[in-house]
Amino acid sequence: MLRRHCPPIVFLLTGFGWLVLASILGLAILIGLVRSTPLPPWVRLVHAHAALVGGMTQMILGWLLAMMPPPHGTDLAPRDSHLTAFLAINAGTIAMLAGFWLHHYQIVAAAGFLVIGACVWMARVAWTRSSRSVPSNWNRWYYAAAVLALFGGLAFGETLAAGFMPQSYGYLRLAHIHLGLLGFITLVIVGGVFTMLPAVLNTSLSSPTLTRPALILMLLGVASLIGGFMNSSVPIEIAAGGLLLAGGTLYLSNLFRTWMASAHSGTAASDHLLIGAFFLLFMIILGILVALNSLSGQTVMPFGALHLVAYTHMALIGFMLHTMMGALSHVIPITLAVSRVPSNKKRGPYLDRLTTIMDRWRAAQIGGLSLGTMGLGVLASLTWNVPLNSVSVHTAAWICFSLLLSSILLFSAKLAMVLGQQPEDTPHSHAHAH
Percent of the chain with pLDDT over 90: 42
| DSSP assigned state of 424 | G
For residue range 121-152, what is the model confidence (pLDDT) as tens digits?
Answer: 888 887 776 666 555 666 778 888 988 999 99
Residue 220's closest CA among 173, 182, 180? 182
The pLDDT value given to residue 372: 92
Task: Note the Cα 316 to chain centre separation in Å.
Answer: 7
Q: How far apart are CA 281 and CA 252, in angstroms?
A: 7
Residue scoring higher pLDDT (22 or 344): 22
Distance from chain centroid for Cα 252 = 17
- Residue 107: predicted pLDDT: 93
Domain borders along the chain are 7-70+79-133
Measure the CA–CA gap between 122 and 106, rounded to whole angstroms.
25
Radius of gyration over every alpha carbon of the chain, rounded to an integer in angstroms: 22
d(C-alpha 103, C-alpha 379), whole Å: 32
pLDDT of residue 371: 94
Q: How far apart are CA 19 and CA 34, in angstroms?
A: 22
For the entire predicted model, the pTM comes to 0.87
The tens digit of pLDDT for each residue in 233-287 reads 888 989 999 999 999 999 999 999 999 888 777 789 999 999 999 999 999 998 8
Residue-averaged pLDDT of the chain: 85
For 312-348, give one letter per residue: b (16+ CB within 10 A) or e.
Answer: ebbbbbbbbbbbbbbbbbbbbbbbbbeeebeeeeebe
